[in-house]
Chain A
């Protein structure tokens, strides 16, 4: 299992006299805080919590810290030192401090699959985690921080299931962290500035980028600066975005505005894409033109990863500019479920600065909650950090809010809406017409199986919500959200057998826990 702190107690190991997992030290075997996600929010929270004397465990299904935005290359690779994204100079330092911190227990390669409750852990909760080789264990913790980040907003259109179609986040990860690059002509399409960063990354790797298509009018750097005011730390990033635009154009990359991708075509792989002009609300106005491409990169923005919060039963609220369904919280980042806190993108997709600030504030609130001394100055500083970041993120959210209704219209009758269960738009339309009493996405899910496959609805909830809203002439939020259940990432039935292993059947583990080869490092 992963690197642990000095106590050498790890998940799955017989803990204290209560046989409960975790650090001993008379704390009934529970961690004070379990953090899910080692991105900016999770890392900042873990360090702040440890500074206040809390026993912290951090779980992340990737192999290294950084989260999606600062995904690091494997240690074996050249350039395994992270090159920070423009404007985020603090990221490298945060990752290094996090990785070097001996107080933290980290579990990389483990997926959080849900939260359960057990009478044996009064005042605590059980975080269930799963590893592809090492199976399922439960971590006892007094408090939980959901810092699960975000994922690229899925948009269903004809051909989006073809190999060669990928999200901007996917391509960024493969190029930056896995050090592989697409071969052939690449088209990028969507509405988020991340597209520019990815296009630039590709061009610098010598990849032929033929076009970057934005659904909206591209805001000029001057507009952005005007909108933002003088926000220190972001001016450089925006200036850089302007620089990227100029560089792309110099490299012969066509950058189109008011253009969306309406189809990807090809037999077994993308061979060409169709791009069409749209109006100000992103409704297609013209006849699509075909562009040869071997890869299509999609970047319409982000959806908050809220499945864990949903599984636990936290309240959510629909807020389209913030990324759809986001987790409700108070001014100390407490969710509606006692003991469960949230930080980062699940509160609303707002970028790394805000995530880091929220992570710090949540950790302070948790420390105070657990009776630790927390200085008013520290709280005030964390709150100021959030306010500063919010000024920027609110502008970006408004500027880049996806026109969901128009995006919903891109799916035709034969378009696969639910990729896992291969359910088409036509199936949904027919069902809704025949069943006038249905007005909630979960009722659609149950009858049509959209969202019932392995991805648990992450990639069709938006489409289903939009299609339902349009059929019933109701707001998207009124149609509700998919419920989420344990395991929020599927695991073999056999693995569920050890879901209670921390109670009455502690596994026979080596001193550093099961999987003692250290899942944080890759076998050589």
Chain B
């Protein structure tokens, strides 16, 4: 066995890159592998929202569901603080701007929901303020006159999903990590000191070569492939894939400084530092599946007319001047949630030395997930209560 590491990180998304960087900074010998390219999947395809308020999907299901979702607030507050200093630590731009996020309301019901939500969030320590119409005239003149109020969280904003993960990967390389693209982890066997993992790599001539490397620990940072990779290590890591629609416009002069979400519609939009406007908000696409109904993540998922149209309507309703701005791309991104909508973070039961993080807002929460994972790798006890996110909580007989 010529090659050995302290940790092999599987998945070159933002979370994997951050974990590799932090672990390498701690002095660990790190190998990051991705079956495709760094930042090719969810991390590079999501809209880069830094959202710390509860999202529409969390509040639309009622007050009880919102209370459960709010339990992830400590992770959010931690992530908000980490994003604020990440660019300085990485040493290059990640496109981070925490210039505030609005959740807007168009009617009395939605305003009532905002008030409930703001109170709940404040109880967890997130500073949220409700703006009335006259304040919106000053703070967000780009919004439709139909918007009557909004919750404002000053911590919210955006990072640039295009550039963030590759920038962190460069930092990881600078800190001593090895980063291998086109390298798929296909097998693992437990050893007295950790794991021997089998890697299948496509080299620069297109030849496929297989090699085995020895490692003390493994981090699964693989998004929709989490469940599949869990099986390689004999572990059950249930996740639910979601295929969602995003649209980006051509460049327009800067006019939207905030992250904008809607209290009564599927809408999330923001203007990137490139000046494009990113429009999303959870509109579904058709996830491709094989004959047995198993999702096929390497296929191109299908757009649904209703979703693109609905998202465009919601966007123009909230920000009327978007009507004539050219849309350049609508695409499908896949993301993962755990069955109970809370993340999966921690040690993998039954696979000693294997750790995982995924599930819901893994871009926004990426820095926190990575910090927690790096702590676990180094044997530090976590400063955030990980019990609600225990990956074993869906395993039979476990009591979360």
Contact = CB atoms under 8 A, between A and B. Distances in A.
Touch A–B, Cβ below 8 Å: yes
A500 B162 contact: no
A473 interface: yes
Among A483, A486, A502, which residue has the most Cβ atoms of chain B within 10 A?
Answer: A486
Contacts of A435: 38, 166, 169-170
Interface string B321-336: 0111111111100000
B305 to A, nearest CB: 4
Contacts of A456: 328-329
B106 to A, nearest CB: 17
A313 B300 contact: yes
Interface in A301-355: 312-313
A497 B304 contact: no
Given A453-B328, A494-B316, A446 B306 contact: no
Interface stretch (A68-76, A113-121, A214-222, A404-412): A113-121
Contacts of A497: 309, 312-313, 316
B302 A117 contact: yes
B36 interface: yes
A493 B305 contact: no
Given A442-B40, A447-B163, A496 B327 contact: yes
Interface residues of A, number: 49
Among A117, A477, A499, which residue has the most Cβ atoms of chain B within 10 A?
Answer: A499
Contacts of A117: 286, 302-304
A126 B305 contact: yes
B204 interface: yes
A493 B162 contact: no
Interface stretch (B135-143, B173-181, B365-373): B173-181
Given A439-B182, A500-B309, A490 B326 contact: yes
Contact of B206 (A118, A452, A475, A491): A475
Contacts of B305: 116, 118, 126, 128, 138, 499-500, 502-503
B274 interface: yes
Contacts of B299: 313
B315 to A, nearest CB: 6
A492 B316 CA distance: 11
Contacts of A477: 206
B333 to A, nearest CB: 11
Interface string A479-495: 00001011100111111
A473 B204 contact: yes
A207 interface: no
26 contacts: A116-B304, A117-B304, A126-B305, A128-B305, A313-B299, A437-B12, A437-B169, A438-B181, A439-B37, A439-B182, A443-B38, A443-B181, A446-B39, A446-B40, A446-B44, A446-B162, A452-B328, A474-B205, A478-B204, A478-B205, A487-B330, A494-B312, A494-B322, A496-B309, A499-B309, A500-B306
Interface of B: 12, 36-40, 44, 162-163, 166, 169-170, 173, 179-182, 202, 204-206, 247, 249-250, 274, 279, 286, 299-300, 302-306, 308-313, 315-316, 322-331
